[in-house]
Amino acid sequence: MSGNEAIARGAYEAGVRVCSAYPGTPSTEIFENLPPYKESLYCEWAPNEKVAAEAAYGAAIAGVRSLCAMKHVGLNVAADPVFTAAYNGVKGGYVLVAADDPSMHSSQNEQDSRLYAKAARIALVEPSDSQECLDFMKEAYRISEEFDMPVLFRVTTRVSHSKSLVVTGKREEAAAEPYQKNTRKYVSVPANAYQNHPKVEENLRRLAEYGETSALNKMVLRGKKIGVITASIAYQYAEDAFPKDTSFLKLGLTYPLPMKLIRDFASKVETLYVIEELEPFMEEQIKAAGIPCVGKEFTGNLYELNPQLLSERIFQRRAPTVDVGVQAVSRPPALCPGCPHRGFFYIMSKGKDYVVTGDIGCYTLGAAAPLNAIDTCVCMGGGFSVGMGMAKAFQATGQKKKVFGILGDSTFFHSGMTGAAEILYNKGNVIPVVLDNSITGMTGHQDNPGSGYTLQGDIAAAIKIEDVLRALGYENVIIVDPQDLAAMQKAVDDALASEVPAAIITRRPCLLIKRISHNTGLCEVDRGKCIGCKKCLKVGCPAISIRTGQCQIDATQCAGCTVCAQVCPVGAISRKETK
């Protein structure tokens, strides 16, 4: 199993009943592997991570074990309820999976979610392989219930996506007591929170004592010369990189740290290393406790580690390399052939008197050459809100710039509706644009409130984006097929000229949605007409290239969207329908 598959299995075996998440790499596959267990548990995609954390916490208050999951930046969105849940405590076990992404393989920043556990004063559990993902999940629920607190279950990209052998078990149903109202515990007004804080500190003290003997923390003594304290995937790297006689203290419960155990381990070795990715989370605490150790001066706090890096940085041993005589060609990410967003970005790339504030999704690739159509990308929902701030700045400095704020359909439900309200309420010179491709595309085609299906495969009410925008007060909502370039240009012009609040929805399903039938025609070039002007290259389609001075379309990549045909000034490109 992959780590994510094992986490899902662990939740099932632990008797979890309610699961809520928002997709985000590298956490997404956890919830994609829960529907096979839907006879025993309920699972859903929530509109955003805050909602997911709240829904799962509500289930825990009601007395059942619950799970929520998200990527590291999603934890920023969910932080509000998590901090308060730490004060209130739980009834049923409450585990929140945060999947960090060292080296930012698919993320806009590189944060260390372990710091949230310390800040929120909650337990932190870290597995290092798939078997531990399963086993530690079950222990995490016991910790949550025994110590009356949420548990942050932190994994990284390599733990989530690597595969290793797993021994599975049977589901153990967790008893759910009848719900009883308890305003003193769960109504977090200042007077109650004031009384809850000492309880939080006492629970942490008891948890620290538990950590000293917990099976999650394992000491392996092999020699006295070198000792390594480590956790998560860094343990796997260190096992490979350090000498065979190295002793290890492998920690699975990493907050609060078991300082007595660490001190005992340190006394048994001559040199103590702390090996961890990103922040010196453990190292700083160990040094603060007066225990000499080394670590970050060798490993640094940027990007993910691996065995070769540890060998080079600590022992100056360079790994042998083999020249295979092949040089890989750089392939920067690009919008897929036939992507519905391409037409919109092509039209936007032609204008020079406006700013386009982007967002997190497939459409972020509209910033890449040759489209170069996006000015900013900050966070989910920022396409509208950042655009609003820029518009107000332009107004304050007398610049006559219009702002187009863009985001996708899933992001609209995630955090775009509040930004849309902000624009309207505070009279922003911003045209909100929702790029609706009928799916949550970037994370691998998860459903959302506008798609008409749930995570469990049930048909659901599809919320119409245009109805929401009109309800907010956008009087002129323009819906357009972005692959019709003339219509797309008219939509932009009409929105710019509108005397009432206007918004644009570009609507065409993602070409990769399996349940939707798409055209099967391919575009082809009439080489007798092609003049080699290269305007077709400006749409940025991977299927198009120039060979011997003329346009060539790769039939294995072409999706027949005809955007290139509409751009060609001499009509050299057309779509040939296939039977």
pLDDT at 492 over 60: yes
CA angle 212, 213, 215 (to 5 degrees): 120
Distances (CA, A) of 355 to 181, 345, 426, 489, 501: 52, 12, 19, 16, 18
Q: In whole angstroms, what is the distance from residue 515 CA to residue 439 CA?
A: 11
- Among candidates 2, 55, 3, 15, which has minimal Cα distance to 455? 55
34 compared with 516, residue with greater pLDDT: 34
- Among candidates 263, 252, 256, 268, which has minimal Cα distance to 289? 263
Domains in the chain: boundaries: 3-213, 218-315, 341-507, 522-576
pLDDT in tens, 217-258: 999 999 999 999 999 999 999 999 999 999 999 999 999 999
pLDDT in tens, 151-207: 999 999 999 999 999 999 999 999 888 899 999 999 999 999 999 999 999 999 999
pLDDT in tens, 402-413: 999 999 999 999
pLDDT at 393 over 90: yes
CA angle 281, 285, 287 (to 5 degrees): 115
Distance of CA 384 to the CA centre of its chain: 19
pTM of the model: 0.91
- Among candidates 250, 260, 254, which has minimal Cα distance to 227? 250
Structure confidence at residue 579 (pLDDT): 56
The domain made up of 522-576 has a fold known as Alpha-Beta Plaits (3.30.70)
SS3 label, residue 274: strand
Structure confidence at residue 317 (pLDDT): 86
- Between strands 544-547 and 550-553, the pairing is antiparallel
Burial string for 280-298 (b: 16+ CB within 10 Å, else e) reads bbbbebbeeeebebebbee
DSSP for residue 364: G
Q: Does this chain's domain 341-507 share its CATH topology with 522-576?
A: no
Give me the architecture of the 341-507 domain, per CATH: 3-Layer(aba) Sandwich (3.40)
- Which amino acid, residue 506? T
Identify the helix (H) or strand (E) that includes residue 154: strand 151-156
Residues 6+ apart with CB under 8 A from 564: 523, 536, 539, 541, 544, 551, 553, 573
Q: What is the mean pLDDT of residues 486-496?
A: 96
Q: In whole angstroms, what is the distance from residue 134 CA to residue 131 CA?
A: 5
Q: In whole angstroms, what is the distance from residue 503 CA to residue 434 CA?
A: 8
| Mean pLDDT computed over every residue of the chain | 94
pLDDT at 375 over 90: yes
- Between strands 66-71 and 18-21, the pairing is parallel
Q: In whole angstroms, what is the distance from residue 107 CA to residue 101 CA?
A: 7
Q: In whole angstroms, what is the distance from residue 212 CA to residue 201 CA?
A: 17
CA neighbours closer than 13 Å in the CB half-sphere of residue 364: 18
Beta strands (DSSP E) in 12-84 are: 18-21, 42-45, 66-71
- Which amino acid, residue 301? N
DSSP for residue 48: S
CA angle 58, 64, 255 (to 5 degrees): 80
Give me the architecture of the 3-213 domain, per CATH: 3-Layer(aba) Sandwich (3.40)
CA angle 143, 204, 130 (to 5 degrees): 40
The domain made up of 218-315 has a fold known as Rossmann fold (3.40.50)
Structure confidence at residue 294 (pLDDT): 96
267 C-beta neighbours (distance < 10 Å), count = 10
Q: In whole angstroms, what is the distance from residue 545 CA to residue 403 CA?
A: 33
8 A C-beta contact, residue 486 and residue 540: no
